[in-house]
Homo-oligomer: A and B are copies of this chain.
Amino acid sequence: MALRHAVLAALLDGELSGYQLAKAFDVGVANFWYAQPQQLYAELTRLEQQGLVAGREVVQESRPTKRLFHVTDAGLAELEAFTAASAKPAFVRDDLMVKVQAADSVDTATLIDQLTERAEIARARIELFEALLRRLRGDRGEEDFLRHGHRIGPYLTCLRGVAFEQENRDWCLRTVAVLEERRHTRARN
């Protein structure tokens, strides 16, 4: 039950509707959690029943009525308790890594294609995250922001997101290079 905490943490940034939350999970939150909109709506319902978030209806003209949620005091207490509890080490689960693990037995060309595609995705995400970082720190320098800004949580996780994706991209490109060289070497024999 950790999606609930990810939702709570995401809602700290201000009131959000389920729909907006889904958008958030596509960018900033994507650094450390991934979820479909349906899951988020379901989670919000549960959290509201338990009094950890509270929602209010906002009638809009020219758009459907939405419900904006915010974290309650009970929700904050829950987050606090969650933080105090020991976390199990992060784990990566990556289909692409499974494929590379089997690299010696499967088709190299397919693998190279997928690695290249992944490197491109990583590149795009780096740009996205860096734009988010610039937005979060405003006109301040990074050091200054981290020292004196408020709400540095999202900034810190985003920093990790950038580093992760850079590493991801570098590794993909390096792996492609290795596989390609081996392909050529073998072709010559």
Chain A positions within 8 Å of B, measured between CB atoms, are 2, 5-6, 8-10, 12, 29-34, 76, 79-80, 82-84, 86-107, 110-111, 114, 118, 121, 146-148, 150-154, 156-157, 159-160, 163-164, 167-168, 170-171, 174-175, 178, 181-182, 185
B76–A99 touching, CB < 8 Å: no
Assembly stoichiometry (copies): 2
CB-CB under 8 A from A178, the residues of chain B are: 146-147, 152, 156
A-B contact list, 10 entries, CB within 8 Å = A6-B101, A12-B105, A32-B98, A34-B91, A83-B102, A87-B118, A90-B95, A97-B157, A147-B181, A167-B167
B90–A9 touching, CB < 8 Å: no
- Rounded to whole Å, the gap between the CB of A22 and the closest CB of chain B is 15
Distance between Cα atoms of A8 and B103 in the complex (Å):
12
- Which of B12, B160, B170, B174 has a CB less than 8 Å from the CB of A171? B160
B102–A12 touching, CB < 8 Å: yes
A163–B156 touching, CB < 8 Å: no
B156–A100 touching, CB < 8 Å: yes
A118-B89, A121-B89 known; A79 and B102 CB under 8 Å? yes
CB-CB under 8 A from A95, the residues of chain B are: 2, 5, 82, 87-88, 90
Distance between Cα atoms of A32 and B80 in the complex (Å):
30
B30–A91 touching, CB < 8 Å: yes
